Structure 1
Amino acid sequence: MVRYYIAGGIIAASVIIYALIQCILSDARRVRSISKPAWILTIVLLPLLGALLWFWLGRPLGAAPATGAAGNSGYYAPGRSTAPDDDDAFLRQLERQRELKKREEELKRREEELKKREKDAGNDPQAD
């Protein structure tokens, strides 16, 4: 009988540790129901129940870590690089850089136009 309790304890500990690791490695934006830190606390404070709730209600759908020889199973894997055009932050940064460059070119054009006007006004004989 004691062997069953020990085996059950080992299985429960394994489920809890697996749930905790999976929660920590998951993307915070894709976690369902409550926030990622709240899920970590739930798993730690309500050990088996929290782990089971994580699998049922919190785990991102289709978010298993990448497996296989190439490491590319089509699932989200933390730390795996993505194409730049799939990264929203990268695209926003590019747009900001384009806008900044456009503004700088406009400012430079206006400065040159202003210098040209000042030069023409200084050479204008009727300006006196």
Structure 2
Amino acid sequence: MLRVVGVIVVLVIYIYGLVDVIRTDGRSTRGLSKPAWLVVVVCLPLLGAILWFIFGRPYNTRKAPQTYRHPTAPDDDPEFLRNLEARRRNKAEAERLKKLKDELDAKERKLKGETGVEGSDGITS
């Protein structure tokens, strides 16, 4: 009975160590590279798993649970709404300036026509 429990404990440690090596990000392993740790754990089942837990596993294995961020709809995105309002104001201002320029040009043409001022080409407007 004790022998069966021992075999089960060794298998659990081996499988847990192997899965932990596989799931760990390759950039965060210590000591050896991730493929090297896989070879060590596979070739030396119990000893490799123990070495992994002592020397190879990243220090901070607790990660905050990752929450999936759903993309926000444009009408729910405050940045989009701010930009939309700024574009609307800019467009309205451009239209206002164009209207003022057209009015000014019309007044200048009317004024030149009343006074008989010659244009730049020498012809009276």
TM-score norm. by structure 2 comes to: 0.48
Q: Which has the larger radius of gyration?
A: 2
